[in-house]
Amino acid sequence: MDQNSVLDFTAPARPTTPSDEAAPLTRPQPAQDQQAPRRKRAQRLRRSPRLLGFLACVALPTLIAAGYEYGIAADQYVSSFKFIVRQQTPQTTEPGSVLSALGGGNPMLALIQDSEVTVQYIESGQILEDLRPKLALAPIFHTPKADWFSRMGANLPPERQLLYWRRMVHPYFDLSSGVVTVKVRAFTPDDAARLARAVLDSTQALVNDMSRTARQNALAYAEQTAHAAQLKLAADEASLADYRNRNSVLFPELSAQSNNSVGTTLTTRLNEDEATLATLRAEGQSESSPQVKTLQARINATRTQIQKLEAALASANGGKTQSLASLISHYNALKETAALDEKLYAADLQALQNARNLAAEKSVYLESFVQPAMPVASLYPERWLVTAETALAGFIAWILLTLVVNILRDQLD
């Protein structure tokens, strides 16, 4: 038996028919081609919310803003003025005096502080109180010429009026130049100019009041200091007079000089008498001789007088408890105190005179070098800027909203 026939257990192949040879080979259609319509529908659905979001976030707010700014918003006119606060330094004030101390060590710092005060005043409710007797604000800001969103509401509380005032009046202080610029807005050119002049007048009145108050305070302080120095000097003179009366000495120094002069004369006489006595004794005169007795008696009397003078200068004087040296020491102390107080009183009188001269001047004043003018064209509202800002803000909001929606959709898918 043939080996190949034994080992071949495979089934016979099916014979090929003519129909099999004529049938074409077909490829199965991929799944991507079947999902293409579905993807297109999803893209159309995604584009629709984006378009709606763009219309809602960008187009509609921009149209509303443009319609309000160009069709409803009322024109606002600006009248501005500029001023600087100056300080006139008195030439009579010496360094270290009372006025220089009151004026502060740094004049530029004082000017900056005064300028800041004017800015704070213009932005405060105090200026509204000061303007009411001069100018009515309701006809200016609550006028039919203003649109509903721009006009001031009727019967507003003071806090709301102040907020509206800060929207319409803008002061600015330039620290580098010291110039204060104030811009006042209103709905008519005449109202803007009148309101700017009223603000300038009120600010100038404030600076004048500050200057007058400062001068009055400086003058009152100088007068008080001079009066206190005068009272101190009078008390010193009264102490000197009382000291003289209690010790029965008008001028202790003159008394001491007189005693010293008498003591010198007595000492000279004593020396001469002792020399004469020694000469007589050398010549053989006895102690019982009249000349020797006379000289000895005079010498004893002179010594007694010298001892009394020395006692008056350095020991008990006429039964009093104080010596003349002690009297002189206390008297000199009182006299030096009185002399010092007299110098201080003279300096305070000079400071008082300087304060009076300063009070007659205008030490701090407001100088306006740009006066309020009548505006011609309206500068506010800035319609194109508001419209562009609205469009830009809406576009940014639309971009952020689109990103958030896409992130959430990817997370859900």
Digit-by-digit pLDDT tens for the chain (413 residues) are 444 443 343 444 455 444 444 444 444 555 455 555 555 555 555 556 778 888 888 889 999 888 888 878 788 899 999 999 987 655 444 444 433 444 444 667 778 888 899 999 999 999 999 998 888 888 888 888 888 888 888 788 989 999 999 999 999 999 888 899 999 999 999 999 999 999 999 999 999 888 888 777 777 888 888 888 888 878 877 777 776 666 656 555 555 555 566 667 777 877 777 777 777 777 777 777 777 777 778 778 877 877 776 665 554 444 444 555 666 667 677 777 878 878 887 887 887 777 776 666 656 788 899 999 999 888 888 888 888 999 999 999 999 988 888 888 777 76
Whether residues 86 and 179 share a domain: the answer is: yes
Tell me whether residue 39 is in a domain. Answer: no
Residue whose C-alpha is closest to residue 241's, from 251, 230, 231, 232: 251
Instruction: Tell me phi and psi for residue 265, to 5 degrees.
Output: -65, -45
Whether residues 389 and 307 share a domain: the answer is: no
**Per-residue pLDDT, 362:** 55
Whether residues 270 and 311 share a domain: the answer is: yes
**Per-residue pLDDT, 312:** 59
Tell me whether residue 254 is in a domain. Answer: yes
**Per-residue pLDDT, 93:** 45
Tell me whether residue 390 is in a domain. Answer: yes
Tell me whether residue 37 is in a domain. Answer: no
Tell me whether residue 7 is in a domain. Answer: no
Strands of the sheet with 169-174, listed across from one edge: 169-174, 179-186, 77-87, 364-370
| Structural domain harbouring 52 | 48-73+381-413
Cα separation, 44 vs 240, whole angstroms: 113
Q: DSSP secondary structure string, 270-325?
A: HHHHHHHHHHHHHTT--TTSHHHHHHHHHHHHHHHHHHHHHHHHHS-BTTBSS-HH
**Per-residue pLDDT, 372:** 92
Query: Are 302 and 270 within 8 A, CB to CB?
Result: yes
The alpha-helical segments, DSSP class H, found in 77-177 are 98-103, 107-122, 126-131, 138-141, 158-168
Whether residues 113 and 94 share a domain: the answer is: yes
Whether residues 153 and 253 share a domain: the answer is: no
Tell me whether residue 393 is in a domain. Answer: yes
State the CATH number of the domain containing residue 183: 3.30.1890
Say whether pTM exceeds 0.85.
no
Whether residues 172 and 251 share a domain: the answer is: no
**Per-residue pLDDT, 199:** 95
Tell me whether residue 13 is in a domain. Answer: no
Number of compact structural domains in the chain: 3
**Per-residue pLDDT, 154:** 79
**Per-residue pLDDT, 53:** 82
Whether residues 82 and 134 share a domain: the answer is: yes
Tell me whether residue 117 is in a domain. Answer: yes
Whether residues 144 and 194 share a domain: the answer is: yes
